[in-house]
Structure 1
Amino acid sequence: MTPLVLFRAGLLLILASVISSNTLARPSPFKFNQIEYDLTVTIDPVKRTIEGVSMITVERPRELQLILGAAYEVTQAEFNDGPLGQGREQAGQPHIWNIPFHFRQQIQFLIRWHGVLDTLDTSLDHHQTLGKPVTVSGADGSFLPDGANWYPRIAGELAKYKVKIELPSGYKGLVAGRLVEESDTEEGYRALFEFSQPAEGIDLMAGPYVIETQTFHNIKQKPVQLRTYFHPEIRELAADYLDAVKQYLARYEAQIGEYAYSEFSVVSSPTPTGFGMPTLTYLGIDVLKLPFIRHTSLGHEVLHNWWGNGIYPDYRSGNWSEGLTTFMADYAYQEEQSEEAGREMRLGWLRDFAALQPGQDQPLTAFTSRTHDASKIVGYNKAAMLFFMLRDQLGSTMFQRGLQGLWATHRFKITPWSDLQKMFEIVSGQSLQPFFSQWLERSGAPDIAIAAAASNAVDSGYELTLTLTQSESAYQLQVPVVVETGQGPVSQRLELQQTQQTFTLKLAGKPQAVLLDPDVRLFRRLAPQEAPPILRDVMVHPATRTLILSNHEDFRQLASALAEKLQRRTPELLADDQALTAAPTVIIGLQADVERWLEAQSLPGIPQAIAAKGNAQVWTVARPDGATLAVVSVADAAALEALLRPLPHYGRQSYLAFDGRQVIEKGIWPMQVQRTTVE
C-alpha cells in the first residue's frame, strides 16, 4: 500500500470501531464564548403581549454582539460592569450592544424586555411565512421564530439554553429541548425546557393544545418521550402520528445512528407551515389532516433531527442538510415503492431544473435556505441528486458507512460540505475532490448528447464506435448508456471527461440504437425532447405573461390573483388584442372562451386525459417556438377561486383536472429519451 492508502485504511479501522459500537463522539469544548441562556417568558396570546427576563452567561468571552429585535422595549439591561444602556438611539431600531474583548473567565448579562406581537394571520401560505420571520400571536396560536430576534441573543453563536414558558390557562407551549417540568392549573400553564447541547437558536410555539404522549425505546433501549401538541379539532389524529414517529425514529437510527434527544413532538400550527426544529416539527392543521403527510413530510422532518438539527450545516459554504434529507426521506420513499417511482422523481428534479432561466441558478455553495421555487430546485433537488450520484459511485454500503461516520464524529457541530467530502473519502479510500468541486462550486449542469454512433462486424461480434459531447467547460462524468442489440439491451457507463470523446465498445449482438441515460441517473440539462412542458415553466420564468379571457372585473381580479400566486410576483398582463411573445404565457378563462381562443390560435384543444373532468382543467402546451403555454379553463368564477390555494403546489405536473379544490386527475407528458440509431 502507498502511505496515503495506509493512512486512509487506518482511519477506516478507527471509524469502523466507532460506528460498530454505536458510540457517538461529542464535540470538543469551545475555546471561547461558551454561552447559556436562562429565559423566563410570559405570553398572553389573545392580548399578544410578551414579557421576558433573560440571564446570559458567557464563558471565556471574546468580542461579541448582543441583539434584540426592534419591536421590543428594554426595561433593564446590565452586565458585570454595570448598565448596558438601551442599545439603540430611537424606537423602531433593533437593540444592538457591541461588547469588547474581556479577559475574564465569565461575564453575565441581565436583560428584561416586553413588547406586542404581530397579529396572527391564518391566510398566509408557507412561502409567505418563510419570507416573513416575525413573531405572531392570536387565540389560535403563537409562533416566535428565532429569526425574528424575539429574545436577547449573542449574534452568530451557538448556545445552550433553559426556557421557562408562562401562559394563561387553556394554552400550552414549548421550545425545542427536554421538558424538565410542567404544571397546568387554573392560574395558568408553566413549563421549563432545557437544551443541553449548543443550538442554533430558539423557536417558541404556543396554542390551545391537547397533549397526547407515547414512549419509544431507542436503539440503546433508552426511553424517548413522544408527544403531539394538537389543536382540539385534530386530536383524534394523535395516535397515528405518534405511531408513525416511532417507525421513522427506528428507521433512521438503523441507517445513521442513535437518536440524539430524549423526546420528539409533533406540533400543530394554525397556518400552513412546515418547519423542523430539534426534537419537534411544526406543521399546519390542514397539512396534518392530509392522509399522505404521515408517509412523506413527517419522515422528512423527523430526519432533520440528524441532518440540520443534529449536525448543523455551515451556511458560509452552503446548506447540505436539505439535499441529504430530501434524498434519504422524500426520494427514498419513492425509490422503495418501485424503480419507476424513483426514476420519475429524478426526472422531476431535472425537469424542474430545465425550467430555470439564466440568472436563476446558483452553485450549491451559495444555497442557505429555501426562499422561492428556484432556490428549492437547487438546494433540495440538485443536492439530493448529488447524493444519489455519490451513492452510485461509491456503492450503497460505503455510502451508508459515510453517513454513519459523519453522525458519529460531527454531532452538534457546525459542519461544511468539505467535512462531508472528507468523511466519504475516508470510508471509500477515494479522492472525491473532482466530484464535489464540480457539483458544488459550479452553477448549471452539463449538456450531454450523442454525436455519432456506428458499428462494424468483427470476429468476436460487433464493435460500436460512439461519440459523446458535452458543453464547455467539461465535467468529469460517468455517463450511463444503453445499447439496443439483436440479443437484448446492454448497459454501459462511459467516463466522459472532455467536451468530445469517442468510445469503442465490444458487443456480442448487432447494435441497433443507443439511449443516453434512459434511467435519469445523471444530473444534466435535459434536451428539448426530454423535457415535456410542466406548470413550473411559467411559474419560475421571470418573463412569463398572463392573458385573461374575460372583461368581467370580478373574474379578472380572481385570475390576476391566481397568476400572482403562481409566479409569486405581480403578473404582467397582456391585452386581448396583443400578440403572444416568445415568453411563456398563462391563459385563464371560462371554458367556452378558452376553446375559441385556442382555435383562433391554431393550437390543440383540451387534452383527452382531462376533457369533461371536474369544473376546472389546467394543462401545458409546447408552442412551436419552444415557449410553454399554460392554460387554465374553468366552468365559472367559483371554480377559478377554488384554484387559488392548491394550484401553485402542482408545478411539476403537465395537466390537472379539479373538482373544486380537489385534484381528480393529474399527469406529466411523457419524456422522449435521447435515442440515436446506429449506422
Structure 2
Amino acid sequence: MKARMTIGIAAALLVAALAVAGMTFASESPPTYDLKVAFDIPRSRITGTATVDAQKGAKFSVWRGDLRIVSLTTGGRRVRLDPEQPDPLSLQADGVVLIEFEGIVRGKDVDIIGEDAIVLRDIWYPVVEGTYRYHLTATLPRDFVAVSEADTVKRTETRGQATYSFDLPYPQRDWDGITFVASREWASRSGKYKDIDLAVHVHRRNAERLDEMMRDTQRYVERLEGLLGTYPFKRLVVVENPVPITYSLSMFTYVLLSQRSVAAPSPEDSALNHEIAHEWFGNLVLADDEGGNWAEGLASYFSDHLENERLGRAWERRQRMMNVYQHNVGDRAAFPLSGFTAADDRNARLVGYAKSAIVIHMLRRLVGDEEFLRGIRDFVTANRFRAASWTDIRHSFERATGRDLGWFFNQWVEGVTMPELALQRAAVAAAGDKHELRLTLTQQPPGSLLSVPLTVYFERGGSDVINLQISGERQEFRFLLNEKPVRVVLDENYDVFRRLTPAEVPPMIDTLLTRQRVTLLAPPGEEAKFRALIDAFERNELPMALYGWFEERPRKGSSATAGTRFRSPPWAPAGAPGTRPELRAERAAAAAAQTTGTSLILFGADHPFITALFGRLDLPRGGFTVTVLKHPRSPGDVVAIFTASSKAEVDAGYRELINHPRYSSAAFNAGKLIWYDLRQGQRGISSAVKVER
C-alpha cells in the first residue's frame, strides 16, 4: 500500500490549486521545508520548528491537527493566531515562514510516542499546502534507531541523545507528507546492492529473519530494475512496524512492514515485494487520484503476480482474484478504476488491487510482452516525480505501440462490466481429411470487446490455442483442424476479466464467507465449543440450522427475548418427535443429498456428513482448523469443516479467518497460523467436443 496521510484534510488538499500546481515540479526546483523535532519520551511529547520557503505575497495554508502552534512568523513578522480558528490557518506570506509547535502523541490509532517506539504518520508536524523538498532533523534518546524518507542520513551522538539528519532531495506532496519511525527493540542488518544502501530492521524476536529478508529485498530490487529501469533512490530500508497494524506501507526510500508480514510463513504471504514495487509506482511516479489511483494495480502486477508467474501459478492467482471480486463486489458495489483513490474498504481494495492488476495483464496480452515493457518504461521515464493518471498510462502505451488504445481504456478503466461467458456448443464434424470444430459462445451482458484464448485438446495428445474475438451476445465459430479435437477449454489461464462459472469457483475461506446462503450443522456435543463462531455467523444474519434443531434468536433491533425451541430438522421423516434427535450415520447421506443450493458448515471432525459427502478425508491438525471443499452435489457451493480441540482455541482463532481469505485449509494454535493449503476450482470453461455427422 502506498502511504499517505490518514487525515481528513487529504481531499481538501487534493483539489487545492496550490497543491495541483505543485505536481509539476518534476523539472523545477521545489521550495524547501526544513523540519527540526525533539522528543520527550516519558511525556509522549514532540516539540519542533518548521522553516518553510514562501514567496512574498503568496497565499499560505497550514493544517495543525492536534498540534499547538507556539509561534508563527513570516518574513520576520509575527502573526497573531486565533487558537479557536479551525484548520486550515490561512495567511499571506511576507517571505520565509517559521513555525514553532508542540504536541502530545498518545492513545492514537496511527501515531504513537511510546517508551520503546515512535510511529508518526498523521499530522505530526504543521502540514503546509503545496509540494516541497523536505529535510528532517530529529533528536531522541540514543538507544533508538530512527528511519524517515531520505537519500542520505547522518547520525551524531552527544550527552545520551542521538540526532538524525534526513535529506530527501525529491518533491513530496503535502497529503503524502513525510513520516518518522523509531524503536529501541529492533535488530538490524545492513548491506549494499550496486550503489543502493540497504538496511533491514525487525523486532528482536524476528532477528532470525534478517538474512532472509535482506536476500529477498535484493532479489526483488534486482528483478524490478530489469523490468522498470534503475531503482530511483540511493537508499532502501525495510522496517518492521513497532505498532501491530494489519497493513504494510511504502514511503520514499523505505518500507514499513506489518508484524504479520514479517512473520509470514513464506515470501508470497509477505507484502515486501509489493511495497518495494511502490518505490517505482507511487513514489517515483505519483498517482493522480482525480484520474484514478493506478499505483496499487501496477505494484500488485509487477510484484505478486509476476512472482506467481515465475512459479507457474499465475492462473491460480487470477482465478482467486476474479472469484473474490465476483462475490464481494459483483454488480452491486462496482465502480470504475478511474474512481478508485484508496483502499477505504474491502470492495474498494478489490477494485483498486485485483481488477486493476487483471486489466494490466489484459493490456500486456493485447500489445505483447516487448511493447508492454516498452510502454511501462516510457510511463515511468516520462512521469518521474509527477502525478500521473490512467490517461498518462494510455498515452505511454500508444507511443510504444503506435496504436489507438482508447477503446481498451474506456472499456476497462471507465467501465464496470464483468462479462459472463459460456460455451453453448462444442462439436466436430469430418471435413475431408480435416476436422471442422464448431463452437457457439455467449456473452452476458453483450458489448465488451474480448480476445479470449481457447485451448483445443486433440485425440492423439497435444493442444493448440486459438484466440477468439468476441463482441456480441452470441457468436458462432468454425475452424478446420488437422487433428481431431476431443476437448476445448475457454480462458484456461484466466486472461480475461470475467465471471467464473460455478465449477470454476475455488474453495476458499472467502468463498465461504461471501455465500448468500449458508447452513451451519453442529452436533450437540460440538455446539458449545463453537458458540463464538456460530454467533459470528448469526450476527451477519446468515441462516443457521443446528444439528437436529433450530436455534431462534431475535434479529438486530428486536427486543424479543432470545430463546431456543426444538423441532425436527427438514430432512426428518413426518411425525418425528419435536426433540433433539440423535441423527444416525445412515441418515446422513440422505440428509446431505438435500443440501444442494446451499453451502454447508460442519462442526467436528466426526460429523457424519463428512463421510456421506466425501468418504474418507484427511483433515489438518491444530487447535482450530478449517477446511473448505467444493460441494460435490452443488458445484457453485462449498462445504466447510471446522475442528477444534477446545472452546479456547476457537475463541482465539476464528477472528483470523478474515485475514486469510485465499486459503482453502488453515490450522491455528492459540490464534496463530501454523499451516495452510490452497486449492483451485475447475481450470477454465471446459467442454467435451461432441461428434456430429
For the criterion TM > 0.5, the same-fold answer is yes
Question: Per-residue deviation at 1:62?
Answer: 5.3
Alignment of 1:529-544 (within 5 A): 529-540=503-514
Q: Matched residues in 2 for 1:170 and 1:521: separation? A: 52
Pick from 283, 288, 293 the counterpart of residue 319 of structure 1. Answer: 293
Alignment of 1:211-250 (within 5 A): 212=188, 214-218=190-194, 223-250=195-222
Q: Which amino acid aligns with 1:47?
A: R
Contact 1:616–1:632, Cα closer than 8 Å, also in 2: yes
Q: Matched residues in 2 for 1:182 and 1:616: separation? A: 48
Partner of 2:472: 498
Q: Which amino acid aligns with 1:139?
A: E
Contact 1:610–1:656, Cα closer than 8 Å, also in 2: no
Pick from 380, 386, 395 the counterpart of residue 413 of structure 1. Answer: 386
**Structure-1-length-normalised TM-score:** 0.81
Question: SS state of the match for residue 441, structure 1?
Answer: coil
Partner of 2:665: 655
Q: Matched residues in 2 for 1:76 and 1:193: separation? A: 24
Pick from 257, 261, 271 the counterpart of residue 233 of structure 2. Answer: 261
Question: Per-residue deviation at 1:481?
Answer: 0.8
Question: Per-residue deviation at 1:314?
Answer: 0.9
Question: Per-residue deviation at 1:376?
Answer: 2.7
Task: Say yes or no: does 1:57 pair with 2:53.
Answer: yes
Q: Matched residues in 1 for 2:604 and 2:354: separation? A: 35
Partner of 2:140: 167
Q: Which amino acid aligns with 1:36?
A: T
Q: Matched residues in 1 for 2:321 and 2:227: separation? A: 24
Question: Per-residue deviation at 1:167?
Answer: 1.1
Pick from 317, 323, 335 the counterpart of residue 345 of structure 1. Answer: 317
Give per-residue Cα distances to partners, 1:304-328, cap 9 Å, x unaligned.
1111111111111211111111111
Alignment of 1:23-172 (within 5 A): 27-29=26-28, 34-59=30-55, 63=59, 65-69=61-65, 71-80=66-75, 82-86=77-81, 89=84, 95-99=87-91, 107-119=95-107, 132=109, 134-145=110-121, 148-155=122-129, 157-172=130-145
Q: Matched residues in 1 for 2:537 and 2:115: separation? A: 32
Question: Per-residue deviation at 1:397?
Answer: 1.3
Going from structure 1 to structure 2, the CA distance change for 1:351 and 1:570 (only over 3 Å counts) comes to closer
Q: Matched residues in 1 for 2:669 and 2:193: separation? A: 45
Give per-residue Cα distances to partners, 1:373-415, cap 9 Å, x unaligned.
3333221121111122222222211111122222222111101
Q: Which amino acid aligns with 2:99?
A: I
Give per-residue Cα distances to partners, 1:225-255, cap 9 Å, x unaligned.
2223333443454344333323322222222
Give per-residue Cα distances to partners, 1:507-537, cap 9 Å, x unaligned.
1123333321122221111111211342213
Q: Which amino acid aligns with 1:43?
A: F
Going from structure 1 to structure 2, the CA distance change for 1:45 and 1:505 (only over 3 Å counts) comes to farther
Contact 2:187–2:204, Cα closer than 8 Å, also in 1: no
Question: SS state of the match for residue 307, structure 2?
Answer: helix
Pick from 477, 481, 490 the counterpart of residue 450 of structure 2. Answer: 477
Question: SS state of the match for residue 658, structure 2?
Answer: helix
Contact 2:604–2:641, Cα closer than 8 Å, also in 1: no
Question: SS state of the match for residue 49, structure 2?
Answer: strand
Alignment of 1:445-484 (within 5 A): 445-459=418-432, 461-484=434-457
Going from structure 1 to structure 2, the CA distance change for 1:262 and 1:665 (only over 3 Å counts) comes to closer
Question: SS state of the match for residue 355, structure 1?
Answer: helix
Question: SS state of the match for residue 334, structure 1?
Answer: helix
Aligned residues: 613
Question: Per-residue deviation at 1:41?
Answer: 1.6
Q: Matched residues in 2 for 1:36 and 1:478: separation? A: 50
Question: Per-residue deviation at 1:545?
Answer: 8.9
Contact 1:549–1:587, Cα closer than 8 Å, also in 2: no
Q: Which amino acid aligns with 2:238?
A: V
Question: Per-residue deviation at 1:553?
Answer: 11
Q: Matched residues in 1 for 2:57 and 2:519: separation? A: 55
Q: Matched residues in 1 for 2:348 and 2:597: separation? A: 21
Task: Say yes or no: does 1:393 pair with 2:366.
Answer: yes
RMSD: 3.5
Contact 2:619–2:627, Cα closer than 8 Å, also in 1: no
Question: Per-residue deviation at 1:629?
Answer: 5.5
Going from structure 1 to structure 2, the CA distance change for 1:95 and 1:478 (only over 3 Å counts) comes to same
Question: Per-residue deviation at 1:434?
Answer: 1.3
Question: SS state of the match for residue 518, structure 1?
Answer: coil
Task: Say yes or no: does 1:355 pair with 2:336.
Answer: no
Q: Matched residues in 1 for 2:615 and 2:675: separation? A: 15
Question: Per-residue deviation at 1:499?
Answer: 2.1
Give per-residue Cα distances to partners, 1:342-390, cap 9 Å, x unaligned.
2211211122122224423322112222233333322112111112222
Task: Say yes or no: does 1:424 pair with 2:397.
Answer: yes
Q: Matched residues in 1 for 2:181 and 2:248: separation? A: 13
Q: Which amino acid aligns with 2:177?
A: G
Question: SS state of the match for residue 27, structure 2?
Answer: coil
Consecutive unaligned residues of structure 1, counting only runs of 5 or more, are: 1-24, 121-131
Partner of 2:481: 507
Going from structure 1 to structure 2, the CA distance change for 1:482 and 1:26 (only over 3 Å counts) comes to same
Pick from 307, 330, 337 the counterpart of residue 364 of structure 1. Answer: 337
Question: SS state of the match for residue 424, structure 1?
Answer: helix
Going from structure 1 to structure 2, the CA distance change for 1:468 and 1:624 (only over 3 Å counts) comes to closer
Going from structure 1 to structure 2, the CA distance change for 1:82 and 1:542 (only over 3 Å counts) comes to farther
Going from structure 1 to structure 2, the CA distance change for 1:498 and 1:84 (only over 3 Å counts) comes to farther
Q: Matched residues in 1 for 2:447 and 2:351: separation? A: 20
Contact 2:274–2:300, Cα closer than 8 Å, also in 1: yes
Q: Matched residues in 2 for 1:408 and 1:392: separation? A: 22
Going from structure 1 to structure 2, the CA distance change for 1:464 and 1:614 (only over 3 Å counts) comes to same
Task: Say yes or no: does 1:301 pair with 2:293.
Answer: no
Contact 1:360–1:374, Cα closer than 8 Å, also in 2: yes
Give per-residue Cα distances to partners, 1:248-306, cap 9 Å, x unaligned.
22222222112221111111222254211111111234532445238953222222111
Going from structure 1 to structure 2, the CA distance change for 1:284 and 1:450 (only over 3 Å counts) comes to closer
Q: Matched residues in 2 for 1:560 and 1:168: separation? A: 49
Question: SS state of the match for residue 413, structure 2?
Answer: helix
**Structure-2-length-normalised TM-score:** 0.79
Partner of 1:636: 646
Partner of 1:619: 627
Contact 2:653–2:669, Cα closer than 8 Å, also in 1: no
Contact 1:616–1:658, Cα closer than 8 Å, also in 2: yes
Q: Which amino acid aligns with 1:482?
A: T
Contact 1:87–1:95, Cα closer than 8 Å, also in 2: no
